[in-house]
Amino acid sequence: MDPKLEPRPVPDTKKCISSKQYLTLHTISDAHHSDIFALAPTPVSLLSASGSSSIQIHSTTSPEFPLIQTLQGVHPLGIHHLVTAKDARRAASAGFEGKVKIWTEGEDGQWVANGEIRDGLKAGNVWAVALSADGSYLACSSINGKVHVWSLHEPNMPKIREYETKGNFGLSVALSQDGRFTASGHENGSIYVFDNDTGRLAHSLASLVHPVRSVVFSPASKLLAAGGDSRTVALYDVTSGEQVANLSGHSGWVLTLDWSDTGEYLLSGSHDSKAKVWRIETRTCVATHSHGDKPLWSAKWLPKNTRSEMFALGGGNNTINIYREAAG
Amino acid sequence: MRSQGRRQLPCPHQHRTGFVKLSLSISLLTWSRVQVIAQIESMIQKVLEGLSNSNQQISISLQSRANITRKNGRGAGDPASVPPPKNILIKFPGSNVQEAWRFTVVIRILELIHSSLIDDTIMTKRDMYYRHPDLFMKQAVVDRYVDDLACTFGVSRSMLNVVATAKGLIAGNFILRRQDGACIHGLSEEEGLLVPKLQAEDLLELDAVRWILVIEKEATFRAVLNSNQWRVIGSQSLILTAKGYPDVASRKFLRYIADEHPHIPMYALVDFDPDGIAILSTYKHGSYRLAHENVSNNQASGLRLPELQWLGVQSHHITNGRADRKLADTRMLADTQGLMKLTIRDRHKAQRMLEWDLCAEGGLEARWRVELQRMLMFNMKAEMQILDEVAGSLVSWLVSELGISVGAASQRPATRTAACVLSDDELLF
């Protein structure tokens, strides 16, 4: 095996030096009455979705993280995915009933419904969703393996791409921030990268064998991180399609991944309720936090503002925990 | 609730109450039988009138709850409320061959039921089918129209003198004393016993039974019976399997125990998949299809079993508690053979079940909603045999779960017994 694929051995003492400290800043207890399946941050707020039918929106600009809005009963059977666009006031949610809804934040900070994807969707078929940074494209994976891309800034939100795969359940999907690539992670371990400009398959990546539950592009769209039931996080070079690292350390299935704004750190969350922060430069885990004893469905960095670096965790214990980097 | 005295061996007082109950049920039975015979005869009468009057159409009107789902059920939060049956008109000769055939089937079933009511003999649905397999085509046809007729007359199937062939099996430390003097001891039956149809004068002794366990699958039932720990488990329990979705006889048997021995906790062990939860639901809340069995039975509680507790398999049994174990353990877990992917049918079923009023937000079974959603999220299911891998053996898992459950539920002496079982476990081999 290529030695560069292995995590670099780091002596214990050095590990201590290179580790980072994160402190619990705030806990939103019982944010939902059911498993929190998705967290989606904006520069000023944190949207969350769960097995209940409503989307909750908490402010992240005031120290008490107050609830500022509830989108009531929007997916009656529960919400399995919720994403926000990095640089636009747009969100998309997917419910167990099979619908995908688009949301927009108004000038007053209130979120309102902005339509539904209707084109070519069969109930229960669509699964994971992803938005491009500018909010104009939406990608969905599906049970039958197809990957769809819709253009949200055109009238009636037409479908502009439909990628065929080998028919295996697409558990996860990602759009690169520049909107150029779509990636999908599948139950049989397959990972595909599609070029949205040409509408063709760019890479079929070295398989992880086990289900791939999260795929996510680095901010500069250079790297793709993928994690799942292999309990490792694989890093791929998007241009070459080569695997460049394998981050091991989780002892449960990896359910969620998120890059920090700068691309220096990767946050991962696993089924055994552990969250880990990885330093990409050294390929090492620099922090581990436990979020109770239930699956950790979602771990997300909050967009960096004047304060120190923060991230949020949500999962099967119905609670949202906000962590911040310890000063100096 | 009934006094403790009923559970003890017969005493003069109990003989008296038993006698009163017996004569009451005879008169009730006779009354309902006469009523049903009259209803069948008036139905046939209408057909005959139609025959003699050429202008009049010949038809039979049935009430049916076939094909009604819990989806968008009315009266959310009250599982006892059921939707009204649909009205079905079967005409003769009808618009096509199919309808003429259905008419013939219903007339023939009416005739069979009528004669068994007149003779006051009991007939199984299987018997009925074998009288005319060429006419009925398949068992399900008989099942369907028998249930529709019961629904139409507003009585339970047994009041038509029709029973299903016994499907369920029981085993454990019980004694069944039949009126004719026959005495069956549960522990003496190594392969389990068919669920008995209890007559009013039969006596089921459950003095040694600390808990009742309902097991979805026969294979698991047999595995428990054949295990080394059965001597310990069996001595303080009664276990039952109805081999999948429960039949009316098994549900009646459990309802009887719940009424007579309300202090004995009842647990269910089903697969971690949508069907497992649907089977649990059929035991606990009954089926819409057979709702007339609930309402027309002269017991107030019908056949529902709201006291049934969900022992497993739940998502945390498969995966939780793993976090604090050694890495090697969790590695084994991810490669566990017992975990399977949901099929498309499973996913659709889970989605439809999320639409049930029971699983709705704020519905009665919030836990089912959570577990169905987790199945969909993981896209995984597990048969109960997975406990053999996760917990070493399913039987050991049962011993420890029930020990804990009994201890937590009450402070009865059973707690100590269960604890002893745990510690003495290994001495038995």
ipTM of this predicted structure: 0.92
What pLDDT does residue B426 have? 30
The contacts of residue B137 (CB under 8 Å, 6+ apart) are none
Name which of B353, B381, B385, B384 is nearest B369 in CA terms.
B353
Q: What is the DSSP string of B295-357?
A: HHSSSTTTT--TTEEEEE--HHHHHTT-TTS-HHHHHHHHT-TTEEEPPHHHHHHHHHHHTBT
Mean pLDDT of chain B: 78
B contact test, residue of A127, A231, A272 with most B CBs within 10 A: A272
Say yes or no to pLDDT of B421 above 70: no
Q: What is the pLDDT of residues B138-171, one digit of tens each?
A: 888 998 999 899 889 888 888 888 877 778 999 9
Q: B interface toward A at CB cutoff 8 Å?
A: 316, 319-323, 327, 330-331, 334, 341, 344, 347-348, 351, 354-355, 360-361, 366, 369-370, 373-374, 376-377, 379
CATH number of B211-427: 3.40.1360.10
CATH 1.10.10.10 domain range(s) in chain B: 12-163
Name which of B134, B87, B137, B131 is nearest B109 in CA terms.
B131
CATH number 1.10.10.10 is the correct assignment for the domain at B12-163:
yes
Q: How many C-beta neighbours within 10 Å does residue A293 have?
A: 16
The C-alpha of A209 sits at a distance from chain B's nearest C-alpha, in angstroms, of: 12
- b/e code A98-108 from CB counts within 10 Å (16+ = b): bbbbbbbbeee
Q: Provide the CB-side half-sphere exposure for A18 (13 A, CA).
A: 18
Q: How many C-beta neighbours within 10 Å does residue B83 have?
A: 15
Say yes or no to pLDDT of A239 above 80: yes
H and E: helices and strands count for chain A = 1, 28
CATH architecture of A22-325: 7 Propeller (2.130)
A contact test, residue of B344, B347, B361 with most A CBs within 10 A: B361
Name which of A316, A321, A311 is nearest A278 in CA terms.
A311
Q: Which two tokens stand for residue B207?
A: 């003095």
Confidence label for B337 from pLDDT (cuts 50, 70 and 90): low
The contacts of residue B71 (CB under 8 Å, 6+ apart) are B352, B355, B356
Element (H, E) at A235: strand A232-237
Which residue would you say has higher pLDDT here, B238 or B119? B238
What pLDDT does residue B212 have? 95
Contact A294 B348 (CB under 8 A): no
What pLDDT does residue B22 have? 41
Closest in B320, B331, B369 to A51, CB measured:
B369
Domain positions in chain A? 22-325
CATH 3.40.1360.10 domain range(s) in chain B: 211-427
For tokens 């994807």, what's the residue?
Answer: A117
Residues in chain B: 429
